Amino acid sequence: MTETSTAEHTDRRATSRIDAHLPLFIYGSLLGGDPFYEETFTISIDGTGGLILMASSVQPGQRIMVTNQGNDQTQECVVVSVAAQPAGSYVTFKFPTPMPQFWHGLEIGKGTLRSWIEYFIEAVILQIRDDRTPETPVPDKFYKRGSQEKTQLHRPEFFLLPSPRE
């Protein structure tokens, strides 16, 4: 059975939670006073805070510093609840006042946040394109010699290139 501790106040959300996988830096002090630093990702977010999985041990009511790696915003937050898990603890934190702009400056609850998979796909496309844009065609030297037909995949930014052996 999972043990959950909660701060004295109840977490009443002003906005609905959105599942989002955003990279964060977490800073704070352990119970003994030793500082800790941890990189983690959000599980879900809203305009008042978020839910993360942490390896470090924190307690409800404890103050932590949360930095959004996507926009380098840092905010002091309060731990609301901690639920022990085999790989760490689910930690719910809240901002001192609602701050939906902390999450990439987008409005929470209006469907404007993209899911983590959309960010991942965008990053993969940029890696594959290697700084080529759809407006920059692939030079003819990359196509089979003697072939007048250029093979193109479904998306305009992907071109089928011959293997180095050919």
Check whether domain 4-109 has CATH 1.10.510.10, yes or no: no
pLDDT of residue 9: 43
pLDDT of residue 21: 84
Task: Determine the Cα–Cα distance for residues 118 and 62; give it in Å rounded to an integer.
Answer: 33
Q: How confident is the model at residue 130 (pLDDT cuts 50, 70, 90)?
A: low
DSSP string, the chain: ---EEE-SS----SS--EE---EEEEEEE-TTS-EEEEEEEEEEEETTEEEEEESS---TT-EEEEEETTTTEEEEEEEEEEEEETTEEEEEEE-SS--GGGTTTPPTTTT-SPPHHHHHHHHHHHHHHTT--TTSPPPGGGSPTT--PPPB-SSTT-B-PPPTT-
Q: Is the pLDDT of residue 150 over 70?
A: no
How much is the average pLDDT of 28-49? 90
pLDDT of residue 91: 96
Domain ranges of the chain: 4-109
Q: Is the pLDDT of residue 5 over 60?
A: no
Task: Determine the Cα–Cα distance for residues 58 and 91; give it in Å rounded to an integer.
Answer: 8
pLDDT tens per residue, range 94-127: 999 998 888 875 445 444 455 556 666 766 776 6
The reported pTM is 0.57
